[in-house]
Structure 1
Amino acid sequence: MSEHTPIGLENGAAPVTALTHSGNFHVDETMGYVILHYALAPQGDLRARVLNEKSADRLTFIRTRNPDVIKSADIVFDVGGLYDPTHGRYDHHMKDKPLREDGTPYSAAGLLWKDYGHAAIRNILKTPVDDATVDLIWKSLDKSLILPIDQDDNGVVKMGKLSLADIVSACSPPWDTAELYGRQEARARESLGFANAATAVASHLTNVVDRVRASLKATDRVLAAYENAEDKRILVMGTGMPTEKVIFEHDLPVVYVVSPAGPEQWNVKAVPPVRGDFGQRVSLPEAWGGLEREKLAAVSGVSDAVFAHPARFICGAGSREGAIRMAQLALQIAGI
């Protein structure tokens, strides 16, 4: 988190000019622009600024390598040869480049996230949250999204195919665009490509911010449900939500999770032995696998049984009570 007041955050109405380089673009400066958009002027038009169209807000965005224009901008990132956040300079291409505590070099996105990420998160969220929750979201995204961008942009670890970096790169016009269509058209297509990339990155960022918010909310509910559980091996949730992350992060001995799958069905899902694995700590009974309704009810003894997957990691019943009974029976049959 920033130790100074970043430019533009001290006065929410003052005009701000932000600048990055023209030419080939990557995920770090694209994400950097998106962060500034949400932190400083989220009501503005993300695409219009890039395409030099009218955006009625206080943020002006420029892509150039002109030294005189760079000097006059309020915030300069990924270009300029200087890291001085108190004066709005966020380059990382110097010999003595800014480093994270673990020694990973920052990218422009990482540097801007450090100063403007909290403000961006507050403006992205439609549901008000307290400062502590904003900070938890910031830390989660810093680790899962921004750090990989830092690593990719600095040649530490590549994000790989179908990553956000690859999606941004795919928005760039092909190398022979100027050869085929002329320099003016090539510049126009480059700007359009950056606008498209920024739109994709903005959509991803807003989605993951809200998903992390919801994940934190789920953590509280999962832990409360676990505390209230009669049998700590069976976690009964009143609403469908992610539970596996919480189970493993808090080392809960849960074997089955019971939750609603619709207005007329409750499911029992087996917890895997390792987070993200396809296996189960305890598989559902072998005799249930692949059966449905009457056949499953006859074998299981649960009258409203609906189905049991052939892989024996999930089954369902027509009621909460039926699903809980299936989980209890599965544990009895497994002898635990």
Structure 2
Amino acid sequence: MSEHTPIGLDNGTAPIRALTHSGNFHADETLGYVILHYALAPQGDLRARVLEAQPGDRLIFARTRAPERIQASDIVFDVGGLYAPAKGRYDHHMKDKPLREDGTPYSAAGLLWKDYGVAAIRNILETPLDDSTVAAIWQAIDKSLILPIDQDDNGVAKMGKLSLADIVSACGPAWDTAELYGPEEARAREARGFANAAVAVASHLVNVVDRARASLKATDRVLTAYDTAEDKRILVMETGMPTEKVIFEHDLPVVYVVSPTGTGQWNVKAVPPVRGDFGQRVPLPEAWRGLEREALAGISGVPDAVFAHPARFICGAGSRDGAIRMARLALEIGAAPPPA
């Protein structure tokens, strides 16, 4: 994160002139623009600002390579040949590239995220959070989104098809646009493409911030439920939420997760042996495979049993107690050893 007060974050309201290069655009500078939008002028029109100056807008944004425009701008990113954050310069194309601690070269978006990411997160969040939680969200997004863009933009590792980088690239005009429609129309389509890409990237950033916030909340709840569990192999959650990530990151010996579905039913889901796998540490009983209601209730002895999936990874009951009973029976039948 920033070791100085970035330009525009000194609680002032003076207009800020930000600039990146014109021409082909990528996830790097598109995300960089979106980060500045949320950090400095989240009330502005993200798309319209790209196409023309908006009266009263704090963030004045331009895409050009004109040296005099670069010189006159307060914040310049992905162009200019200089990384000097105290002066608002965030290029990364120099011979001596700015590097992460692990040696990965930064993209312009990564450099802006260091200085403006926390402010952007705070303006995106609908409910204020404490500094430590915001810092944890910043770190989670830095790892899951910003680092891959650093790697992609610097030729370290491609993000791949249907990634954010691919979606941004698809917003640009086709190579022969100037040939078919003339240079003026090509420039107009390029500007519209960048504006459209910025809207897509902004939507993605807002979503990942909210999901990172929710993930931290889920971690606290899962660990609390585990600490109070009578049998550490059965994790009972009073609200449906992602649990697998926490189970594997904290090496919890959970075999089944019991949670409500939101329709009054409670499910028992088997934890896979490897995160993201389709298998189960302990499959549900073979005798339950594919059965429903009366047939399942008869063979399991759980009166409100509802279903057992043929793949033996999930089953359900009409009540919390019924689902817990199914999980305990499955452990007995599967002979899963209790944790040491």
TM-score (norm 1): 0.99
The residue type equivalent to 1:63 in the other structure is R
- 1:168 alignment counterpart: 168
- 1:250 alignment counterpart: 250
Any residues of structure 2 matched to 1:132-211 within 5 Å, and which? 132-211=132-211
Q: What is the CA deviation profile of residues 259-291 of structure 1, one whole-angstrom value per residue up to 9, with x for unaligned ones?
A: 001232000000011111111100000111111
Report the CA distance between 1:57 and its aligned residue. Answer: 2.3
The residue type equivalent to 1:214 in the other structure is A
- Determine helix, strand or coil for the equivalent of 1:235: strand
Q: What is the CA deviation profile of residues 292-313 of structure 1, one whole-angstrom value per residue up to 9, with x for unaligned ones?
A: 1111111111110111110000
- 2:277 alignment counterpart: 277
Is the contact made by 1:122 and 1:134 (CA closer than 8 Å) also made in structure 2?
yes
Report the CA distance between 1:211 and its aligned residue. Answer: 0.3
- 1:287 alignment counterpart: 287
Q: What is the CA deviation profile of residues 97-149 of structure 1, one whole-angstrom value per residue up to 9, with x for unaligned ones?
A: 11111111110000000000010000111021100001001111111100000
The residue type equivalent to 1:35 in the other structure is I
- 1:306 alignment counterpart: 306
Residue 212, structure 1, aligned to residue 245, structure 2: no
Distance (whole Å) between structure 2 residues aligned to residue 244 and residue 157 of structure 1: 27
- Determine helix, strand or coil for the equivalent of 1:158: coil
Report the CA distance between 1:11 and its aligned residue. Answer: 2.9
Unpaired runs of 5+ in structure 2?
none
Q: What is the CA deviation profile of residues 221-248 of structure 1, one whole-angstrom value per residue up to 9, with x for unaligned ones?
A: 1111111111111000000001111111
- Determine helix, strand or coil for the equivalent of 1:262: coil
Is the contact made by 1:48 and 1:54 (CA closer than 8 Å) also made in structure 2?
yes
- 1:60 alignment counterpart: 60
Distance (whole Å) between structure 2 residues aligned to residue 197 and residue 251 of structure 1: 39
Report the CA distance between 1:12 and its aligned residue. Answer: 3.5
Q: What is the CA deviation profile of residues 142-201 of structure 1, one whole-angstrom value per residue up to 9, with x for unaligned ones?
A: 111000000000000000100000000000000000111111111110000000100000
Is the contact made by 1:44 and 1:55 (CA closer than 8 Å) also made in structure 2?
no
Distance (whole Å) between structure 1 residues aligned to residue 255 and residue 242 of structure 2: 15
The residue type equivalent to 2:95 in the other structure is K
Distance (whole Å) between structure 1 residues aligned to residue 73 and residue 56 of structure 2: 19
Report the CA distance between 1:55 and its aligned residue. Answer: 5.6
The residue type equivalent to 2:312 in the other structure is R
Distance (whole Å) between structure 2 residues aligned to residue 100 and residue 7 of structure 1: 22
- 2:27 alignment counterpart: 27
Distance (whole Å) between structure 1 residues aligned to residue 269 and residue 94 of structure 2: 52
Is the contact made by 2:53 and 2:60 (CA closer than 8 Å) also made in structure 1?
no
Report the CA distance between 1:53 and its aligned residue. Answer: 5.0
The residue type equivalent to 1:213 in the other structure is R
- Determine helix, strand or coil for the equivalent of 1:70: helix
Distance (whole Å) between structure 2 residues aligned to residue 283 and residue 25 of structure 1: 49
Is the contact made by 1:12 and 1:40 (CA closer than 8 Å) also made in structure 2?
no
The residue type equivalent to 1:258 in the other structure is V
What stretches of structure 1 move > 4 A for 4+ residues in a row?
none
Is the contact made by 1:82 and 1:92 (CA closer than 8 Å) also made in structure 2?
yes
Report the CA distance between 1:332 and its aligned residue. Answer: 0.5
Is the contact made by 1:234 and 1:258 (CA closer than 8 Å) also made in structure 2?
yes
Q: What is the CA deviation profile of residues 35-70 of structure 1, one whole-angstrom value per residue up to 9, with x for unaligned ones?
A: 000000111110011011526420000000000000
- 1:14 alignment counterpart: 14
Is the contact made by 2:244 and 2:271 (CA closer than 8 Å) also made in structure 1?
yes
Is the contact made by 2:16 and 2:58 (CA closer than 8 Å) also made in structure 1?
yes
- Determine helix, strand or coil for the equivalent of 1:141: helix
Unpaired runs of 5+ in structure 1?
none
Q: Percent identity between the aligned chains?
A: 82
Aligned CA RMSD, in angstroms, stands at: 0.8
TM-score (norm 2): 0.98
- Determine helix, strand or coil for the equivalent of 1:272: coil
- 1:78 alignment counterpart: 78
